[in-house]
């Protein structure tokens, strides 16, 4: 049986996977009711005298996954979503049994999208003083019409600005929802390109 000591401090100098694993285990402590598993369970961890197995870790990630799906993350067929959304679907349908490292990676991907991209995009909207729905409540795919040139031009303008952090190795590909959301905010505010550039300059 492979065990993990979650009392250790996260240390990305050891490896990002180690730190991510500790985060998943700690979240499991808060998100699920720890019930002792029979001896021999895969990837068990002893936290405060209670056993947290692979099952508990998977349950914690499932809860995070559901919150992500409720945040209007974008269509499954989008290039950046295909791999993650396919893995999410298999996890929720219990047609796959990801190991601990896969669960860590899935959580890192979702945290990057929700806690970095969507939260940052909402903060920008608030800094502009716009009375619009937050990023995690907005379906940007339903808003955009790719045939409209002004939307495409404004999106290209937004993409010129380093508004969002690039993902780490564990966080997958860049996530475009934040840029689409900022573009939709500009269009809903009715700003022309010069006004939009001034507003974007304020964020940098």
9 inside domain: no
pLDDT tens digits, the chain, 204 residues: what are they? 344 444 444 454 555 555 555 655 565 545 555 555 544 444 555 444 445 577 888 888 999 999 999 999 988 878 888 899 999 999 999 999 999 889 989 999 999 999 999 999 999 999 999 999 999 999 998 777 655 888 999 999 999 999 999 998 888 889 999 999 999 999 999 999 999 999 999 999
108 inside domain: yes
178 inside domain: yes
For the chain, the domain total comes to 1
76 inside domain: yes
2 inside domain: no
4 inside domain: no
6 inside domain: no
Give the domain range for residue 58. Answer: 16-203
- Mapping DSSP onto H, E and C, the string for the chain reads CCCCCCCCCCCCCCCHHHHHHHHHHHHHHHHCCCCCCCCCCCCCEEECCEEECHHHHHHHHHHHHHHHHCCCCCCCCCCCCHHHHHHHHHHHCCCCCCCHHHHHHHHHHHHHHHHHHHHHHHHHHHHCCCCCCCHHHCCHHHHCCCCCHHHHHHHHHHHCCCCCCCCCHHHCCCCCHHHHHHHHHHHHHCCCHHHHHHHHHHHC
5 inside domain: no
């Amino acid at each position: 049986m492979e065990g993990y000591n979650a009392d250790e401090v996260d240390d990305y100098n050891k490896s990002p996977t180690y730190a991510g694993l500790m985060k998943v285990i700690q979240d499991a402590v808060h998100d699920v009711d720890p019930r002792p598993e029979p001896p021999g369970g895969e990837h068990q961890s002893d936290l405060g005298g209670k056993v947290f197995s692979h099952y508990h870790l998977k349950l914690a990630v499932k809860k995070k996954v559901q919150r992500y799906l409720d945040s209007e993350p974008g269509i499954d067929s989008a290039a950046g979503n295909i791999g993650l959304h396919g893995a999410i679907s298999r996890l929720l349908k219990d047609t796959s049994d990801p190991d601990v490292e896969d669960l860590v990676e899935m959580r890192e991907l979702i945290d990057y999208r929700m806690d970095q991209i969507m939260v940052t995009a909402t903060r920008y909207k608030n800094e502009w003083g716009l009375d619009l729905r937050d990023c995690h409540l907005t379906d940007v795919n339903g808003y955009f019409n790719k045939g409209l040139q002004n939307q495409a031009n404004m999106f290209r303008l937004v993409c010129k600005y380093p508004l969002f952090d690039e993902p780490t190795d564990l966080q997958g590909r860049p996530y475009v929802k934040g840029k689409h959301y900022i573009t939709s905010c500009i269009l809903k505010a009715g700003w022309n390109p010069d006004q939009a550039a001034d507003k974007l300059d304020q964020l940098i």
